[in-house]
Amino acid sequence: MSAEATDVQAPEPESESMAGTDESPGKAEGETPGNVIVHVAGAVRRAGIVELPRGSRLHEAIEAAGGSAPDADSDQLNLAAVLEDGQKVLVPRKGETLPSGAAPAGGTGGGGGPLGPDGSSAAAGKININTAGVEQLATLPRVGPVLAQRIVEWRGQHGKFQRVEELDAVDGVGPKMLAALLPLVRV
């Protein structure tokens, strides 16, 4: 296994003793320049944060999270898609459909996943929350014109969003809505 994926893997006994000495100060919070940090959730053996080399693929994030759970439905995902830093990957279970916001904007919802059916992970189909107006934001699932206006007002008061996850600071965006919006928006 790659050393970069150790954030999710169970530590080996000898590395536990080293974690408090040499490695902790050098591994402070935040990303390292050559890596991406992603949140892997859903039908995986060890959900959580994984750190992988930049350019890694979705299947590598799932493997770093201990692999798919026996009831995972990875056919809904593009396992070859390239990961983005700060991205959340949701692996659905068999019989479970991804949240309503999991298909790319403008998509029909079929075959979509956190990265979209074609594996696009940035510009294609995603709405930029730093440049979109009320009308464009209102097209997102469960957003509507009132919440779209709040997003624009928050941006006006606080400046550009640095990360998509900052949407949870907007009144009316809770954890479930944020999870639904993550695959549809970008900064």
Instruction: Write the pLDDT tens digit of every residue in 69-111.
Output: 999 988 888 888 888 888 888 888 888 766 544 432 222 233 3
Cα torsion angle, 157, 160, 161, 167, sign? positive
> Over the chain, what HEC string results?
CCHHHCCCCCCCHHHHHHHHHHHHHHCCCCCCCCEEEEEEEECECCCEEEEEECCCEHHHHHHHCCCECCCECHHHCCCCCECCCCCEEEECECCCCCCHHHCCCCCCCCCCCCCCCCCCCCCCCCEECCCCCHHHHCCCCCCHHHHHHHHHHHHHHHCCCCCHHHHHHCCCCCHHHHHHHCCCEEC
**What local confidence, expressed as pLDDT, does residue 42 receive?**
87
| CA angle, 102 then 105 then 108, to 5° | 70
**What local confidence, expressed as pLDDT, does residue 8 receive?**
44
- Using alpha carbons, select from 42, 46, 37 the residue that is nearest to residue 92: 42
Q: Per-residue pLDDT for 59 more than 90? A: yes
In the predicted model, what is the mean pLDDT of residues 49-60?
93
Report pLDDT digits (tens) over 123-172. Answer: 446 888 988 888 888 888 888 889 999 999 999 999 999 999 999 999 99
Q: Can you list the domains of the chain with their CATH numbers?
A: 3-99 (3.10.20), 127-186 (1.10.150.320)
Distance CA 146, CA 62 (A): 36
Q: 163 Cβ partners below 8 Å, 6+ apart? A: 86, 187
Confidence of residue 7 (pLDDT cuts 50, 70, 90): very low
Q: Is the pTM of this model over 0.85?
A: no
